[in-house]
Amino acid sequence: MRFLFCAGSRQCALAALTTSVLVGLTGCVTSSRHVADPAVDAFSRDRTVQLQIFLDGRQFGPGVVDGHSGEFTSKALTLYREAQGLPVNVVPDVSGIQPYTQYAVTEDDLRRLGTMALEPAEQAQQKTLPYIGLTELLAERFHTTVAFMAELNPGRQMDALTPGEVITVPNIDRPFRVDAFPSGYSRPQSSVAGTRRVQVDTGLRMLRVTEGDRLLAAFPLTPGSDEHPAPLGEWKITGAVPWPWYRYDEGVLKRGERTETFYNLPPGPNSPVGVLWTGLNRPGVGIHGTAFPETIGRSGSHGCIRLSNWDAATFYTLVAKGMPVTIQ
């Protein structure tokens, strides 16, 4: 079986979305629901980028930083207001945030690129599932999309850039670097398992981390699909594993049945489960990253909870083994 999403190509995944068909790991497509916020909707592109950078830096993920005041920017702002006890019509003053910065491509960036086989059997022979183009590496690093990178750098052949060439990127607080994960992401003390809770709202399509009555963080998610919904109920985190291997089993993906015909796919940013697997005490179900951040909230998964890789890395710093998880 070939992966319709081209096993790592974000462009191919987006093309699949336009036809409302995603097979394999991404399941079925659900509609996107925009929560209107007149104050935010009236923002210019650059002002929206400033707001998205503000929210992203405070662990209230707006999805991608792309200058579009869409569903998850509004939801992140709503939850940030809730966390800060702000009135519903208050928008933070983000005028002092520089929306863009310049970035010089490095030799190390190019060394992190590789190739991806199309068949799972061939992928299982690879040492890693790497970025396959410079544009996707840079888009993920700066929490944005391939399309917005092109918009910020008109006329540039992004995948043909050489070391030293300078481009414009969103000026986010913490770029996601695969070489800094997990070493550059500190873990909380194990005692937080007794004070914090993860709440997965499958209707709102947002994940929250709370500590008592305090909302610490919130991220957009994909909550399973109609065929394989995320299991509702009370669960616990059994562990968080950076750079996980992935057991590709068509029986699980198609029917929810574990078989003996499977392939162990190696880690990498383009792994089907991204850079992190946070297992729950429900076999085969976890909170994990993805190779396709543009599809978060807009497509289905096979019973698991998907986050962008950069949000998954932040989530890793907030949770501990034994922490309760409510899926509702």
Please check whether residue 234 lies inside any domain of the structure.
Answer: yes
Round the average pLDDT of the chain to a whole number and report it.
Answer: 87
Please check whether residue 102 lies inside any domain of the structure.
Answer: no
pLDDT of residue 299: 60
Task: Burial-class residue 112 by CB neighbours within 10 Å (0-12, 13-18, 19+).
Answer: middle
Between CA 132 and CA 55 the distance in angstroms is 29
Q: What is the pLDDT of residues 27-84, one digit of tens each?
A: 333 334 555 677 677 789 999 999 999 999 999 999 999 999 889 999 999 999 999 9
Burial 239-267 (b: 16+ CB within 10 A, else e): ebbbbbebebbeebbeeeeeeeebbebbb
Active site residue 288: yes
pLDDT of residue 194: 97
Mean pLDDT for the stretch of residues 169-186:
97
Q: What is the pLDDT of residues 118-169, one digit of tens each?
A: 999 999 999 999 999 999 999 999 999 999 999 999 999 999 999 999 999 9
pLDDT of residue 18: 33
Lowest model confidence (mean pLDDT) among 17-26, 116-125, 270-279? 17-26
Q: Are 10 and 22 in contact (CB under 8 A)?
A: no
Query: Reduced to 3 states, what is the DSSP secondary structure of residue 72?
Result: helix
Concatenated DSSP letters of 111-179: HTB----SSHHHHTTSS---B-SHHHHHHHHTT--HHHHHHHSTT--GGG--TT-EEEEE--SS---GG
> In which domain, by residue range, is 264 found?
190-327
- Residue 115 pLDDT greater than 60, yes or no: yes
Of the pLDDT bands very low, low, confident and very high (cuts 50, 70, 90), residue 16 is: very low
Please count the structural domains in the chain. Answer: 1
Task: Burial-class residue 115 by CB neighbours within 10 Å (0-12, 13-18, 19+).
Answer: exposed
Q: Which of 96, 100, 80 is nearest to 88 (CA)?
A: 80
Of the pLDDT bands very low, low, confident and very high (cuts 50, 70, 90), residue 301 is: low
pLDDT of residue 260: 84
* % of the chain residues with pLDDT over 90: 75
pLDDT of residue 256: 66
Please check whether residue 123 lies inside any domain of the structure.
Answer: no
Please check whether residue 73 lies inside any domain of the structure.
Answer: no
Higher pLDDT, 89 or 23: 89
Q: What is the pLDDT of residues 249-262, one digit of tens each?
A: 887 666 667 878 89
Of the pLDDT bands very low, low, confident and very high (cuts 50, 70, 90), residue 302 is: low
Between CA 241 and CA 312 the distance in angstroms is 11
Please check whether residue 323 lies inside any domain of the structure.
Answer: yes
Helices (H) and strands (E) in the chain, counts: 10, 13
Q: What is the pLDDT of residues 209-250, one digit of tens each?
A: 999 999 999 999 998 766 678 899 999 999 999 999 999 888
Please check whether residue 144 lies inside any domain of the structure.
Answer: no
pLDDT of residue 24: 31
Which residue of the set 68, 143, 302, 304 is catalytic?
304
Please check whether residue 137 lies inside any domain of the structure.
Answer: no
Please check whether residue 21 lies inside any domain of the structure.
Answer: no
Between CA 183 and CA 217 the distance in angstroms is 21
- Residue 303 pLDDT greater than 80, yes or no: no
* % of the chain residues with pLDDT over 70: 85
- Residue 264 pLDDT greater than 50, yes or no: yes
Whichever domain contains 244, its CATH number is 2.40.440.10
- Strand partners of residue 55: none
Which residue of the set 68, 143, 228, 288 is catalytic?
288
Active site residue 304: yes
pLDDT of residue 84: 97
